[in-house]
Amino acid sequence: MPATSLHAKKPTRQVTKLMNATMQCSQQSVLYGQCVLKNYENISKDACMAEFMNYKQCVQKHLGKRW
């Protein structure tokens, strides 16, 4: 298939890198998701701040990039 050779040539997209990094942090990701699910009827800014920061730090570690 020409599509696969296309993939091989092209540099990996930023979003793919980000996706791969989030997959490495499934545990933190699930905790954050559950926190939002628990509060979804009355969500406010930073309601799940702690869970998100844990998750974000993990993704940053695997991505090798901070923002």
Partner 1 sequence: MLYRGIQTRSLFTTATRLSTTGGTYQVFDRSIKLKQRERAATNEESGMVEYIRDEVARRTIERLAFLKNNFTSTMDFGCNSGNLAKQLCEVNPDDDFRWKDDKALVKSKIQKLYMVDSSESMLYKNQGGKADHEMNIERIVTDEEQYSHPKLTQPDQFDLIVSNLSLHWVNDLPSVFSKLYNSLKPNSCFVGSIFGGDTLFELRTSLQLAEQERNGGISPRVSPFVGSADVGSLMQKAGFQMLTIDVEEIVVDYPDVFALMTDLQLMGESNSNLSTPPKLSKDMLLALQPIYYALHADPKTGHLPATFRFVFMIGWKPGQNFPEPAKRGSGTVKLGDALEQS
Helix axis angle for 26-38 and 49-63, nearest 10°, is: 160
Least distance in Å: CB of 65 to partner 1?
9
Scan residues 33-52 and list those touching partner 1 (CB under 8 A): 33-34, 36-37, 40, 43-48, 52
11 binds partner 1 (CB under 8 A): no
Which of 30, 33, 29 has the alpha carbon at shortest distance from 58?
Answer: 29
Scan residues 16-35 and list those touching partner 1 (CB under 8 A): 16, 18-19, 22-23, 29-30, 32-34
Determine the Cα–Cα distance for residues 35 and 17; give it in Å rounded to an integer.
25
